[in-house]
Structure 1
């Protein structure tokens, strides 16, 4: 008989191996069956019953395994593989904040980075903050955009996540509060079906300090998710969303599998599913994909 839940444990191979001790501790906490290896030394899943009253919560399990640098995700067995993926870009698919990098090259990096951090922690209104940050670029050359892109790096597992889900007939979208100059390039590099972001207003190769279109913020991310669900004819339970900032909260809360990826403290306080130690490959393991079927 298939048990209703699985506890998925994932380590980052670059940081160490998923140890037998960590697996045994987790198995005992959820009263689970024998672990099934998804990737040797990296990920297992432990079939387990529905948590009983008084059983350790996922937060407790996660805290217990923190010293092992292991992520724990408790997911329902039914409907694990998702038909829609909506991902944030900056600090999720992409390593770092692209607008901060642009600002740094233009000499206003500290001011913009401070505003970005406060915004992602929910201390500032997203739209107001974005307009303030872009205003600091006024009159400066856009030549830096290509330099920032050339230095940009995808987070480990980003391309594998997108390509594997696409190969299994999921619709994938990159939806960012960042800018389409970067989303277009990241989407092409990873294989996203769609991409959306904000637009710089540029005149004669110079930033005007304004936006060229309405702001794509937290509500817009959820709207794109809902549109994709309708187009695929599936419910929110069939969606995977991932992001790190408070502007991702609406889409993380709605999706059947909303994962806070190395997220800001406020996001981790709200979103139960978290990847804090391992790579974006954890999003595939959570859906029950073994590494043997990954598209690298």
Structure 2
């Protein structure tokens, strides 16, 4: 029998909160809604997982402060990887974290709009967004030529790289679109590039997060499922 999960860590909050006070929830994808860092698993196909994963880990801990630079460095190592590796990662390795479906379903049932904001890739965010009923999505588009990754990204109407500031901007823009305020937003993430949106939201949630992120979140879920967040609401 598994041990009971650790208590939620609450900072500056006195539960229960009212879910009706919130209108939008923004989620990171990799290691938050899903169990993997997709870029690390793609790199595995090129025999470069250790090198790429080390950069990912340093970026998520906040040791590499320029997310765009860290992403470009990792993408360069993926040059020449067959695009079929994406399908393999999606099929064989990507799984939803415990409680992800339940939390998203409960939030939608309560009338909240859901936003997926990821420094990962559209190939995966399209799948995750469809499965969880996301209302808005922003992520990076891998450039593929002759069925191989080029090591670059495609320019999109809003820009090239969804970094921490773009996550924050997307969350706030979506809130404005539905007539909500920043205080009516929930932001959920695990890495340093989630801190800008978490800092702007009325409720910030760290899920199995890096220490620097846990320290700044209003709610930290150290273990167990994402749906544990529902216990802070009336």
Task: Determine if the TM-score, normalized by the shorter chain, exceeds 0.5.
Answer: yes
Q: Contact 2:17 / 2:233 at 8 angstroms: preserved in 1? A: no
Change in CA separation of 1:86 and 1:105 when aligned onto 2, cut-off 3 Å: same
Within 2, Cα distance between the matches of 1:153 and 1:71? 23
Measured at CA, do residues 278 and 140 of structure 1 come closer, stay the same or move farther in structure 2, by a change above 3 Å?
closer
Q: Could you tell me how far 1:212 is from its partner in structure 2?
A: 1.0
Deviation at 1:287, TM superposition (A): 2.6
- Describe the SS at the equivalent of 1:208: strand
Identify the residue that residue 220 of structure 1 maps to in structure 2: 166
1:158-173 to structure 2, matched below 5 A, reads 158-173=100-115
TM-score (norm 1): 0.72
Distance 2:113 2:15 in 1: 21
Q: Are 1:79 and 1:238, in contact at CA under 8 Å, matched by a contact in 2?
A: no
Residue 268 of structure 1: aligned partner: 214
- 1-structure distance, mates of 2:148, 2:185: 39
Tell me the alpha carbon deviations over residues 128-174 of structure 1, each in whole angstroms, 9 at most, x when there is no partner.
00011011111221111011001210001111111111122111011
State the superposition RMSD in angstroms: 1.6
Matches within 5 A, 1:35-46: none
What is the CA–CA distance in structure 2 between the aligned matches of 1:179 and 1:287, rounded to whole Å? 32
Q: How many residues matched?
A: 225
Q: Which runs of 5+ in 1 are unaligned?
A: 1-13, 18-67, 289-296
After the TM superposition, list the runs of 4 or more consecutive aligned residues in structure 1 that deviate by more than 6 angstroms. Answer: none
User: Larger Rg: 1 or 2?
Assistant: 1
The answer as to 2:8 corresponding to 1:71 is yes
TM-score, scaled to structure 2: 0.91
Q: Which has the higher contact order (CA 8 A, sep 6+)?
A: 2
Q: 1:69 to 1:77 in 2, by over 3 A?
A: closer
1:159-194 Cα distance to aligned partner (Å, 9 max, x none): 111111112211101110000100000111112122
